[in-house]
């Protein structure tokens, strides 16, 4: 039998384990043109929270009683499709199922060591692309500028900060624990980092860490953290809005400072960023990130949780900051 995870109910506020349901189904048999896939790694991502709501967005909502899907890596166990070889590994947006069949559409072959597969869900996958493209396309960083990144110790944030350093920016991260502050400064070479959970006056702490003001704010979290950064931006600042995790579980539309006067007086540009809009740059960017990894210019962290049964909990743990770098489940 194959275990599957479906959306049991739509969460109100913070999701819980009850919102997911485990079911069993027969291991499917591939027909002509199809392959049988065995899931190896599953990515859990904050954006999945939005897909659990019944609302229109840039990706359609998950259907009740249907499997959740996310970026996953799977092995070809059986093949009735001449383009797929048994024992090879593919990346795709797959159902949360131990086994599933596919006609091969949307799958990308991973030609790399088995020990490196999980990277294609993180630094060499969607979050690496997001960090690089969001920063370079919208943030337009220049050497000598000051870059602030929130959600700094996560999958996207660690890539953003390191690319900022490669370009020659001063990089300041905002994150949720002292361990992560240390990690950002030691492993990821950030110039400074701030623990938003223990800092009483975030606005002043950012001003102190960024003597010359903030030229680029890469926003992964939204809410009060971003309000504090915005009070420190420089003239012509660029603000890629990549995520707003602090607001994903809100049940009411939160009210913050009105941004127009800040953006106006600072001639600043705040731009929403969705990585999928840049798909023509994926192959080139992945190649560049792989070269930087090989050369040691870029590094990464992964939090790998063991077991298919732990996929929902690993997802919930994102909202408690229990990951360093990319949160991945090894099935």
Q: Are 20 and 114 a contacting pair, CB within 8 Å? A: no
CB of 160 vs ligand NDP, minimal distance in Å: 9
Residue 80 or 189 having the CB closest to ligand NDP: 189
Residues between 166 and 205 with contacts to ligand NDP, criterion CB under 6 A: 175-177, 180
- Identify the burial level of 317 via C-beta atoms within 10 angstroms of its C-beta, where 0-12 means exposed, 13-18 middle and 19 or more buried: middle
The set of residues, in sequence order, having a beta carbon less than 8 Å from that of 303 and lying 6+ positions away, is 322, 323, 324, 325, 326, 327, 328
DSSP type of residue 210: -
CB of 157 vs ligand NDP, minimal distance in Å: 5
Residue 273 interacting with ligand NDP (CB under 6 A)? yes
Residue 242 interacting with ligand NDP (CB under 6 A)? yes
Tokens 């939090």 locate to 303
Stretch that binds ligand NDP, among 25-33, 160-168, 230-238, 316-324 (CB under 6 A): 316-324
Please state the separation of Cα 150 from the chain's center in Å. Answer: 12
CB of 103 vs ligand NDP, minimal distance in Å: 26
Of positions 79, 102, 136, 323, contacts ligand NDP by CB under 6 A: 323
Tokens 């975030």 locate to 202
> How many residues sit in the footprint of ligand NDP (CB under 6 A)?
31
Residues between 139 and 158 with contacts to ligand NDP, criterion CB under 6 A: 151, 153-157
Q: Are 15 and 305 a contacting pair, CB within 8 Å? A: no
Residue 321 interacting with ligand NDP (CB under 6 A)? yes
Quick check: helix, strand or coil at residue 101? Answer: strand
Under the rule (CB under 6 A), what is the footprint of ligand NDP? 45-47, 127, 130, 151, 153-157, 175-177, 180, 220-221, 225, 242-246, 273-275, 318-319, 321, 323, 327
């Amino acid at each position: 039998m194959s275990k599957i995870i479906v959306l049991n109910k739509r969460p109100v506020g913070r999701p819980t384990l009850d919102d997911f349901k485990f079911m069993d189904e027969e291991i499917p048999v591939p027909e002509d043109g199809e392959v049988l896939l065995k899931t190896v790694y599953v990515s859990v991502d904050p954006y999945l929270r939005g897909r659990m709501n019944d609302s229109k967005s840039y990706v359609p909502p998950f259907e009740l009683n249907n499997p959740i899907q996310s970026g996953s890596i799977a092995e070809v166990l059986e093949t009735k499709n001449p383009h797929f070889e048994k024992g090879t590994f593919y990346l795709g947006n797959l159902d949360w199922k131990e086994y599933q069949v596919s006609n091969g559409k949307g799958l990308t072959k991973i030609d790399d060591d088995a020990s490196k597969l999980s990277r294609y869900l993180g630094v060499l996958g969607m979050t690496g692309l997001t960090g690089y493209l969001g920063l370079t396309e919208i943030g337009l960083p220049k050497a000598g500028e000051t870059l602030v990144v929130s959600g700094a110790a996560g999958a996207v944030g660690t890539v953003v900060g390191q690319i900022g350093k490669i370009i020659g920016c001063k990089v300041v991260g905002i994150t949720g624990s002292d361990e992560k502050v240390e990690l950002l400064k030691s492993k990821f070479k950030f110039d400074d980092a701030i623990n938003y959970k223990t800092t009483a006056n975030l606005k002043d702490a950012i001003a102190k860490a960024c003597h010359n003001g903030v030229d680029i704010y890469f926003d992964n979290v939204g809410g009060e953290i971003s309000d504090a950064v915005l009070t420190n931006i420089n003239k012509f600042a660029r603000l890629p809005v990549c995520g707003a995790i602090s607001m994903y579980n809100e049940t009411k539309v939160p009210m913050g400072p009105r941004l127009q006067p800040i953006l106006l007086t600072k001639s600043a540009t705040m731009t929403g960023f969705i990585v999928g809009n840049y798909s023509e740059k994926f192959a080139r960017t992945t190649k560049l990130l792989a070269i930087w990894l090989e050369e040691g210019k870029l590094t990464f962290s992964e939090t790998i949780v063991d077991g298919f049964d732990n996929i929902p909990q690993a997802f919930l743990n994102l909202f408690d900051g229990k990951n360093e770098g990319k949160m991945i489940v090894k099935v």
